[in-house]
Amino acid sequence: MTTLKQLEKKLQKADAKMAGLYLFCNFISLLLITAYSAMMLSPTVLLVLPEGGDSRKQMTAIFVLALFGCVVFTIYASGLFFRKKAKQLGTLMALGASGRQLLPGLLKEVLLLSSFSCLAGILAGFPFVALLWNSFRLFLTDSAQMVLKFDFKCLYLSAAFFVIVIACSCINAYRYLKRTNIMDVMHEEHRNEPVKELGTWCAPVGFLLILLGAALGYFSPYAYQKLFSAYSPAWLNLFYAPVFIGLYLIMLHTVVHGWSSRRKHPYKNLIARSMMKFQGKQTVNNLLVSTVLTAGTAFAIFYIPMISVGHSMEVNSRPYDYYYHYRADQTVFDKEGISALAAKYDLAIKDFKTAPYLSLAMDGIDTIEDEGRNFHYERVPFLMEGKFFSETAFETLTGAEISIAPGNYMAISNTDETALYYLNSEAEVLTNMATYDSLPISFAGYTHYDLLVSEKGYYVLNDNDYESIAAGITPEWAGNAVFFNIDGKDNYSLAEDFFYTFISFFGPECEYPSYYDRVAKYQAQQAGKVYWGDTEQMTQISYLEPDTTDFRYYWTYMPKIRILDQTDFLRTFSVFLMMFLFIAIICSLAAMIISYTRCMTIALNNRYVFEDLKRLGASPAFLKKEIKGQAGPVFQIPTIVGMTAMYLLYMLLMFANDGKLTSGEIGGMAVCLLILIFLAGIYYLIYRYTVKNMCRQLEV
């Protein structure tokens, strides 16, 4: 006699394909989440990405998108598994088995499948990260900073996701066993889930909501700070919610109405449209998730060309091959010393120019934190340090004529005036930090010289004012800036030798990053506070590690050397670039797998429809056309909407930063467009592969 357990096992074997699909979905979801969280919390990444910086915020934002996508994907996989499982449950109920009898076996199967797939995904996540990351190191770029390290606290995120998977599975199991109508249970897999048919207005409204949500989410923190004089809370991110509602409406329009006119041919593609519409809820959910992940892919990959193209254009546009500056109390090589160094490489220097500057204290408006998240603005006498040239020194160094009235100063910005963040245009008093003599001053506008743009801003004073405030200044508060070119083609070995030799001249008193402000420290000490730069919040740099990203990007006396900056760019920013490339790969893999899985599910769920079409005499060409009609929107719509929306949003963000698009940003966006075309080509190949597998599954 066949027992209930034996019958359950036979039915489970019959549903092995759906069990395999469920295992695959859970495995992929946990693998992707584990891999992303492992990289996001890796000391290798966190050591390079500055805390509170935009790069970390972008990384976290994309992780939220990926997490959202994987959660929805997992819920969908669970629901799909139980829809197929319903027929098995209905068969056993028809034979007299009660829900209470079936519950232990069902829970055992679900827990076993879920636990096995999830644990396998978690365990596979780390080798996957290591393989991908070390492939970057092998084929793209390598540096000492790219040695991969894991912080296994990332497993907390994987464990939380694991709990979500188990919870969804158990809830679905209980929900299906609660049903009492055996016929409903038996035909669950053929039950349609049409969506509510809204009018054609949902598409334009969807696009408007996307734009509205993007604008509200981006500008609401600034508005909050202006209105309430307080730092914006995290809940303001809810203003991005209209973006997802808009995406949903666009996906709904795709499923219900499509994007082609039906007036001339109302019956064209009727079968494909109807199949998609009758399973609308599943299709809309999948399109939404794939669109979000595709947008995340674009957002991550855009980081690479935007920073690379801008850097390349800036380096190539420099009027001098070498620029450096140093404090007057440091003894570095002069023109003769540099000439001697260049001679070792059979080279000579030309266009050598040098000019002195003063490091002065500037007053200004500072943000003073109150209790909680509130703050207020207050003018402080020692706000920040600024480097000041005289009119004559500036003209000697740059060749640009400039005239400044007594009692005024000008700030040196780049030509596009997009590098104004670090410049102080509100100073009313300059102070000599050696004598504490002061000079009343007024801002007289901007002058431009791209090579002198730095985190410690450069300014220009009237010659007489310069001489007046310079009286009695000590060498530690004075310095020199130097420009020169190489006579002929520069040599990387010379540039590298120059760089390491230059570092060796500096003492420990200059071993600090560019955002360490000696004047701000003095202000904090006067107020009886500890300067934040002397706490653990400050990124530490060391002369012993001159090739690290932190040193080359943040050292306050870091020289600008054209050939060195061109050649070592990938190595210097390797962790930044590879992290965002890794994120893009993770998101794109998730999007492609979800789209592929959805298409294969369509093939399984609608096999009976295609069998009926065969019996009615439909040709293989017609059936293949209907298959493409199902698979096409699943790949096309997320690709087009996700990429287009993110491209326009990114361009809007670039414009909102400073009210203009610079040549570097335009060049970067052009490269981003080429990357999107390349990605679309990859998605097309996956689409072709998916259609081929659907045809094989349906025996077309």
Q: What digits encode the pLDDT tens for the residues 15-63?
A: 666 677 778 888 888 888 888 888 888 888 877 776 666 677 778 877 8
pLDDT in tens, 189-219: 555 555 666 667 788 888 888 888 888 888 8
Residue 482 in any domain: the answer is yes
Q: Among 191, 222, 257, identify where a domain stops.
A: 191
Per residue in 299-338, pLDDT (tens digit) is 889 988 888 888 888 899 899 999 999 999 999 989 999 9
Q: How confident is the model at residue 275 (pLDDT cuts 50, 70, 90)?
A: low
Q: In the chain, what are the helix, strand and coil shares in percent, each to the nearest 5?
A: 65, 10, 25
The HSE-up count of residue 179 (CA atoms within 13 Å, CB side) is 20
360 lies in some domain: yes
Give the domain-ending residue among 176, 191, 206. 191
Q: Over the stretch 511-550, which tens digit does the pLDDT of each residue have?
A: 998 889 999 999 999 988 888 888 876 778 889 989 888 8
Task: Return the HEC string of 83-97.
Answer: HHHHHHHHHHHHCCC
Look at residue 312 and tell me if it is in a domain: no
Does 4 lie in the same domain as 152? yes
Amino acid at 328: A
Compute, in degrees rounded to 10, the torsion defined by CA atoms 60, 61, 67, 72.
170
Name the average pLDDT for the chain: 83
Q: Are 292 and 69 in contact (CB under 8 A)?
A: yes
| Same domain as 326, residue 182 | no
Distances (CA, A) of 358 to 399, 459, 472, 557: 20, 10, 11, 15
Dihedral over Cα of 684, 689, 690, 691: its sign = positive
Where a domain ends, among 191, 214, 241?
191
The phi-psi region of residue 96 (left if phi > 0; otherwise alpha if psi is between -120 and 50; otherwise beta) is: left
In a domain, 464, yes or no: yes
Q: Quick check: is 275 in a domain?
A: no
Same domain membership, residue 329 and residue 186: no
- What integer pLDDT is reported at residue 13 of this predicted model? 58
Domain, as residue range, for 124: 1-191
Query: Residue 43 domain-assigned?
Result: yes
Flag whether the pTM goes above 0.85: no
279 in any annotated domain: no
Residue 357 contacts residue 325 (beta carbons within 8 Å): yes
- 90 with 176: CB under 8 angstroms? no
Domain total of the chain: 2
Q: Does 249 map to a domain?
A: no
